[in-house]
A = this chain, B = another copy of it.
Amino acid sequence: MISQASIEQIVAQVLDDVGELGVQEQNAAARSAAAEESVRREQAEHVNMIKKTSAMTEFVGTALGDTIGLVIANVDNELLKMMELDQKFRSIGILGSRTGAGPHIMAADEAVKATNTEIIKIELARDTKGGAGHGSLILFGGTDVSDVKRAIEVALGELERTFGDVYSNDAGHIELQYSARASYALEKAFGSPLGKACGVIVGAPAAIGVLMADVAVKSANVETVAFSSPAKGTSFSNEVILIVSGDAGAVRQAVISARDVGRNLLEALSGPTHSVTNKPYI
């Protein structure tokens, strides 16, 4: 997450990154003065850009999966109407990504627990930039901009964790999420009962997800809350998604069993898989 408080760090980081890029480019390509000048210009542009954006009060930060977090302090009534949102919300928080729906819903669930906000919309694009899954758009509503901003900050901060049990290779991905106590985002997205443990089990291509779902329900005494497949409940993504609920231990067991079989199958298709962040959390 990029918080406004750490803009200086970011600028320093960008300078570093672009510096490294410059070094690589010097080695790889023609080392002409023109090329160096272009790198310098690009670098200056990027820094200006980040300064400009961070001056926008609407910008909160970015995260994994081309995720962006934004707020609107005083949202236009016409926009609320067009989006079919309750007119009572003056401020909205916006969390959107190209890659990832589960990680964002799970992060939003923590954010809504931690703040005085409501989840008012969850929409899943068919995206992941040519991958098999979804992108996401999640809106938080609040009466004060500081509340929705805090929700976005919490959600952006959670993503590093909630991407931890996404495993992928060239053939697809599997994804697992686990919460000991589901809150309003998991309820809104999947109908998961409030306050009970919730597990999210995703396999792509969908064939792998079918087997993961079978293993999950066989391995522990859990309730199935929702089931989605390419033609039903997804945005035509190539996924099977199973949501389970129940006692914490059972849900966790179901998720872990599905993960084991899912990784094996995905690896049979096209080689090793690794956690996207190298930090599995379940």
Contacts and interface: CB of A to CB of B under 8 A. Distances in A.
Interface in A18-58: 42, 45-46, 49-50, 52-54, 56, 58
A150 to B, nearest CB: 17
Given A210-B137, A217-B76, A42 B272 contact: yes
Contacts of A231: 123-125, 235
Residue from A62, A214, A227 with most neighbouring chain B CB atoms (10 Å): A214
Question: Would you call the interface of chain A mostly helix, strand, loop, or mixed?
Answer: mixed
Interface string A122-157: 011111011110010101000000000000000000
A8 interface: no
Contacts of A62: 268-269
A123 B229 contact: yes
Interface in A218-275: 218, 224, 227, 229-232, 234-240, 242, 261, 264-265, 267-272
Nearest to A263: B49
B267 A76 contact: no
A181 interface: no
Residue from A129, A206, A229 with most neighbouring chain B CB atoms (10 Å): A206
11 contacts: A58-B261, A66-B172, A83-B227, A95-B207, A96-B205, A96-B206, A96-B207, A123-B206, A123-B230, A124-B230, A137-B206
